[in-house]
Structure formats: C-alpha cells, structure tokens
Chains A and B, each alone.
Chain A
Amino acid sequence: MASASRSRRKPSGDCIFASRPRPVGTHGKYKEAPDKHVNIIYDRRIVRGNTFGQLVVPTTAQADPAEIQRQQEIKRKAIAIKRAQEQCRAKTPEALQGRKHIDVQTDLYLEELSNIIVATDIESQTDAFLDRPASPLFIPAKLFDFDREVQPVLEVLVGKTIEQSLLEVMEEEELACLMAQQRAFHELRNIHLAEVQHLQEKERRHREEKERRIAQQEEVLEKERETAEKIAARAYTKQDLADLVPAAFTSLRSNGYFDDPVETDVETDFLPWLMDEVNSKLERRFTARQLLDNIIHDVAQKRLEQFKEPET
C-alpha cells in the first residue's frame, strides 16, 4: 500500500508539477456563457466582503420540517451508499491459521514512516570567558586617583601572568615527572632483566655442562662395551682357531702337501746315489762288455787275418 507521490523531482532538486498552475478560467461547468479571462476580483464565485454573516444560522431555518426531513434522508442515504461502497470494495482475505498480514512498502525506495520529525539543534553563544572590556573611566568633577584606579587592572594583569607562568611550570614539571617515572621504571626493569638473563645463562650453562658430562659418560660406557666385545670376540676366535691349526695340518698332510723327510731324504740322497752307483756299475759292465766286444772283435780280426794269411 504505497502512497503514490505526485511530485517528481528533477535531478537538480527542484520539483516539477504534475499539472502546471493556470489562471482560473470561467469556462465550463455552469450555464452561463464563458467569458474571457476575467480578473479574479470580479469573479462571481468569489465572496467579497464580510463573511461572518454567512455563518450565522438564519432564524427562519427551523420553520421547515420537510426541509429537515429531506436533509436527514440525504444524510442517511449518504451513509448507506458509503457503507455499500465499502462492502463492495474488495478487501484482502483474512489471514490463514497461523499467519498474519503485514503492511509492506513495495516501491523502489522504502519510505520511513514515522511521526517523529528529525530536528537538529544549533546554538551559538558568545565565548564564556570573554574579557569584559574595561569600562570607560567615568570622571565626574572629582580628582583622578591613579593608584586607586589602576589597582583592578594591575590585579588582573598580575594574576593572569602568574596563572600563565604557573601553567608553564606545571607543564615542565609534568614532563620532568614523566621522565623520572620512566627512568625509575627502566631501572627496575634493568635490574630484573639482568637477573632473568643471568639466571637464563646459568641455566644454559648448567644444562650444557650436564649434557657434556652425560655425553662423556656415554662415551665411556660405549668404549667399555666395545672393549668387552673385543675381548669376547678374541677369546672365541682363539678357541676356534686353536682347532684350526691341527686340522689344517692334518688335512694338508692327508692331501700329501707335506714332504715326508724320510721320503725326501730318500729321494734326494739315496736315490741319486743309487742311480749313480747303478749307473757306474752298469757303465763298468758296459765298459767291460765293450772291452770284451773289442777283445772279441780283435780276436776275430786277428783270426781273420790269421786265416787270411795262411791262404796267401
């Protein structure tokens, strides 16, 4: 249910009319012939003069009962027509069970409907602490006493100067106070910070020392363990190897890798001597046989020669 706005706005902010204003013409509705554009003053529809007399009910109005009845009838008819019109006008149906109708603005831009009118207050006032300009000296016919007159001026001057200087001194004091407070804070902070760092350092050193000692200890343990292992390994290997040598010898001997000294002896000494002896004996025999062969040959030769000689 939005209210249609009649006045549109130009971009510059001025309003434009839906219908431009025109001077009232006298055309139209009434039976009289339309005149030219008449001055509004001479228009018969406008009341001139005192209008109070028209509001007073004329004394003869009560006389006519038919008139009153007619008016009452008119009123009743008007009410009946209005009621009929209202009933004919389509209303929105009632809300369903559990729902409620709400009024909603469906225009492009929502309007805020409120009865409160936005108002701002602006006030202006003269400075509260203005100096009151000195009142002009009023010198009636009396003598002018300078000392008495100058006193209030002097008081103001001196008072203001002292106030200002007090302000400045307080400012400097404030700054000095701030710096002193900072300094005290920093001293305390330094003290505690130094303690904290010192303890941290001590802690770090202790921790490092502990770690170093632990590492050392571990090294020692490691070395001991290694030594024990080495000893065990050595004992075991010794035991193992103790058997090794005879076994090796036995196997070598059984494989014939070893020289039997008797055999060697026999081989190296006896047999060559034997061979030599055999050789020499055989040589002697051979020599003997050869000699014998030679003798036989010689004998045979001689016999042959002897044989041959007698023949000749």
Chain B
Amino acid sequence: MYHKTLSYRIFSIFNNVFLTVISIICLLPLYHLLMVSLSSSAPANAGLVTFWPIGFTLEAYTKTFTNDNFLTSLWVSVQRTVIGTGLALIVNTIAAYALSKETRVFRARNIYLWYFVITMLFNGGLIPGYILILKLGLMNSLMALILPGLVTVFNVILLLNFFRTVPKDLEEAAFIDGAGQFRTFISVYLPISLPVIATVSLFIMVGHWNAYFDGIIYIRDSDKLPLATFMQTIIVQADMSKLDLSAVANLSQRTIRASQIFIGALPILMVYPFLQRFFVTGIVVGAVKE
C-alpha cells in the first residue's frame, strides 16, 4: 500500500500541482491571445494586456467579421473541409475494407497494399507535384486542394487494422443472409467501426482546416484562398515584427490579428472535446493487431 505512506503522499501533492501547472502553461499563450483580442487596441498595443482584457470590446471581432476577404476565405475553408472529408472518408474506408480481407479471399491484397505503402516511403516531392497540378489544369481550383491528399495511406492502414479486429462470424452471417461485399461493408462493418471512423474523420478535418501550403502554391485568386492560407499571408508573411523594422506600423493591428488567429482556431477548439474521446479509443483500438 505504497500510496498511504507519507513520502508518497507528499510526492503525490507536488506531482499533481506540477502537472496541473504545466498543462495550464501549455494553453496560456492561447488564452493570452484571446484576452488581447477582447481588449481595446490602445492598451493591447502598449503591451499592457496579460491575462485579463483591458477596456473590454468586441471591436476586433466586428472588424474581422465585416472583412469580406476573411468571410470568403472562411467559406472556402468550410467547403474544402466538408467536401474533402466526405470524399476522403468514402474512398479510404471502402479501400481499407477491401484491403482488410485475407489473401485467401482477396488474392491481390498484398500487391495493392505494397502499391499504397510505397507512396509512404518515397514521393516525387514539391516540384513534380506542382507541375502535375499545372498540367492537369487544376491550378486555382478547389479540387487542387482536395484531390492530391484524398488518399492518406496512414488512415487506410489505421482503418484496415481496425476492420481486421471485427469478428469473422458477423461477416459470415451477413454472407449467409445473401449480402454481397458492399452490403456487408455498409451494414456490418460501418456501424461497428464508428469510433475509428470518427478518429479518421477528425484527422482529415483538422488536416483540411489547417492546410495552408497548397493554397499558397495552387491558388492565385484571393477569393479562392482557404482561411489558413489567408491567415498565413496576413499574419506570418506580412509580419515584420520578426525583423523589428516596422513593428510600429504593425502594432495597431494587434487586436485584429489576435481575433483572426483565434477565430481560425475556433472550429478545432470546438470539435476537439467531442472527438477527443473517440480519438483516444480509436488510436488504441487501431493499434491492436491480430
């Protein structure tokens, strides 16, 4: 009964406090930014705001939400996230289902599997990918942001490892009832696999929402930029305070920048608590192998 000894109790108290402090520090910068975005611009620019808003105002948010460029980009991001996640789920789950079959049933399984895994090991890189999009005429279109990353081999493997843990008896029962492979997949495998599918959707959604680089290289019109790219251009590229040359000119924007960063992160902060539960179980279950 080690946890009743005095020394362990003292350790336990220190440990709990230490871990709590560390985890709060992890989120402190985000919290600080929220407070900056809620303050009026003069105290924010003077660097007076720390962990409480000074001169509370929603002005930065009103300005951000009346900015047409911001709203258009928000809409593009919603589109790419919804369409991209939907398509990716369909393509990846049905492929993973087929690949989860044993070689006995699906002879070509291992060939397909290697065909996919090779792309994890080696890729053509930035320039050939860019030229491909150029040659396909996808430049400046939403599909340039969705199609190249549609098949994620990592997700396919996560899904197929899970599908392999589904008891074979269920599948046999479906076959006996006359269901084909596709019907078995829809009626037997999908309902059981909801946790792992939720996990994979989370990965894909977060990936789409956060993706900015494809927007930089494939999109030319400002009204087709996804939000992450839009933010990258205004926050990071336009930021001169790194050089501390024209820091003063930039300062008046601080509250607005903070509000934009926060709104950009908001969808992720919102889905996070709901999906976190699935996510941890999904990871653990997906890692179980027969």
Q: Do chains A and B stick together as partners?
A: no
